[in-house]
Chain A
Amino acid sequence: MMLIPCPWCGPRDAAEFAYLGEPAPRPDPTAASPEQWRGYLYLRHNVAGPGTERWYHRMGCRRHLLVERDTTTNEVRPHRSHVGDES
């Protein structure tokens, strides 16, 4: 079982979460070229190793969070922006 460190609920079973994947910054829709827009929609780095990703705690606090996960081992760590958030 993989545990996701939710900053608000603590470590919880990954089955409670929805995986949203690598954060992709949304370009300005009025200024972006079609290539930039397609890149935003479809291109991801698909890293093999540690990376940052977004998850949504759909069966818990229903809040979005960031985690660091190594995609070759599935080892998960809290994202630095959330470290210290745990109550």
Chain B
Amino acid sequence: MVERGRRTGPRPGRYSALSLLRHGVTGQAWPAAWRNHDMRRGYRVVIIGGGVHGLATAYYLARNHQITDVAVLDKGYLGGGGSGRNTAILRSNYLTPEGVRFYDRSLQLYRGLAADLNFNVMFSRKGHLTLAHSDASLRTMRWRAEVNKLSGVDSDVVGPADVKRLVPHIDTSDRPRYPILGALYHPPGGIIRHDAVVWGYARAADHLGAHLHQHTEVTGIDVSGGRVRGVRTTNGDVAADVVVNATAGWATLVADMAGVRLPVQTFPLQAAVTEPVKPFLRTVVVSGTLHVYVSQTARGELVFGASVDPFASYSTQGSLEFTEGLASHVLQLMPSLSSLRLLRQWAGLCDMTPDFAPIMGPTDVDGFLVDVGWGTYGFKAGPVSGEAMAECIATGRTPEIISSFGLDRFARGELLGEKGAAAVGH
């Protein structure tokens, strides 16, 4: 992957049509999108995990709360975990009112993100179709559509004829093993360039004064008197008033260092992409019954995702079982894709919680906050999570929008049950 970063120096200028023209005409090299800094002995806020959640938190801390004494640490490169491995689908048609409100705020932020960050994040609002292959799922979709509408989210149940009109390549006949009975149609959903979101947040956070430290692994967290004091890293010890765990699949390993136990298990989720073809697939198509979701990127590749692997693991090695299952399910939906070739497959690590909802906010250790449990739905929540975590850090209070996602809900037995969390069942 591309290493981005340069030594401490002047802040990079704004991207504009004029700067594009100037660089195009003069052939002058573009400056690196963000700078490298020497590690300070201490920061007010240390964020562990340089993905979209961690970087968005750093950005909103600086932009909304003028807190710039912030470091983002990542043991690899920025966006090398879940942020660069998801299938980049955005939507807000969730099942619980809390979920709908939360993800809709994220979609709002995503809509204005390119202008906000001065970075083209390539958000394409193609619409999102969740197929129903049974009466039971059609019933759940009606429920979801009504919850969505009450929250002002554009979402409705459509019939097989509408599905065929939106996606002519889909087999809506009664030939397949699981015929299509209808779908939940969500026009505001779509896809985005996930790397651009990471790079945009990184560049903007750097611009506002946050330090981004790549290849810096946290090896310990210092806690004394019930309060976090700092982190130990492969790049030296760093004192901190606030430490945020935003490490997705590695969440429990980092929380264990602070003596905080999380109800999280790590499962790999595999995805694959085909060779590019002419644009033909207008919307994102999801089938929970067939465990598959499909979208076509701006480059013309088809991106496929599935449900998590059947056992917990930290291995990101792909499996043939996944490819075989995926191919058979995709061809059930769109038989005309049978001659397409897969370019590659990969896996990302998902931090699954018992109720398929995230865990955000304070823990029993003062100053140690978590933004974890993002499972298979973390990417689309990046902006709102960053905004809410930044507010939580700056004000010391849990914002209302994430108040139901606290770690204490498990001890109280108030699980959320967000069955619409992942479009594909687990």
* B-side interface mostly: loop
Docked-complex contact B261 and A19, CB < 8 angstroms: no
A58 to chain B, nearest CB (A): 11
Closest to B352 in A: A46
A33 to chain B, nearest CB (A): 10
Chain A positions within 8 Å of B411 at CB level: 34-35, 38
Q: List 30 A-B contacts (CB under 8 A).
A: A2-B319, A14-B310, A15-B321, A19-B311, A19-B312, A21-B312, A34-B413, A35-B411, A38-B411, A41-B354, A42-B263, A42-B354, A42-B410, A43-B263, A44-B263, A46-B262, A46-B265, A48-B250, A48-B266, A48-B314, A71-B266, A71-B313, A71-B314, A71-B315, A72-B313, A72-B314, A72-B315, A73-B315, A74-B313, A74-B317
CB of B252 closer than 8 Å to a CB of A:
yes
Docked-complex contact B264 and A74, CB < 8 angstroms: no
CB of A1 closer than 8 Å to a CB of B:
yes
Chain B positions within 8 Å of A21 at CB level: 265, 311-312
CB of B20 closer than 8 Å to a CB of A:
no
Chain B positions within 8 Å of A2 at CB level: 319
Docked-complex contact A44 and B310, CB < 8 angstroms: no
CB within 8 Å for A38 and B315 given contacts A1-B320, A43-B263: no
Q: A71-B315, A74-B317 are in contact. List 17 more A-B contacts (CB 8 A).
A: A1-B320, A2-B319, A14-B311, A19-B310, A19-B311, A35-B411, A42-B354, A42-B410, A43-B261, A44-B263, A44-B265, A46-B252, A48-B250, A48-B253, A71-B312, A71-B314, A72-B315
CA distance in complex: A10, B160 (Å): 47
Residues of A in contact with B (beta carbons under 8 Å apart): 1-2, 14-15, 18-19, 21, 34-35, 38-39, 41-46, 48, 71-74
Chain B positions within 8 Å of A71 at CB level: 266, 312-315
A45 to chain B, nearest CB (A): 8
Chain A positions within 8 Å of B313 at CB level: 71-72, 74
Docked-complex contact A38 and B413, CB < 8 angstroms: yes
Query: Which 5 pairs, one residue from A and one from B, show the smallest C-beta to C-beta distance?
Result: A42-B263, A19-B311, A46-B252, A48-B314, A72-B314
Q: Which of B267-317 contact A (CB under 8 A)?
A: 310-315, 317
Closest to A37 in B: B413
Chain B positions within 8 Å of A39 at CB level: 261
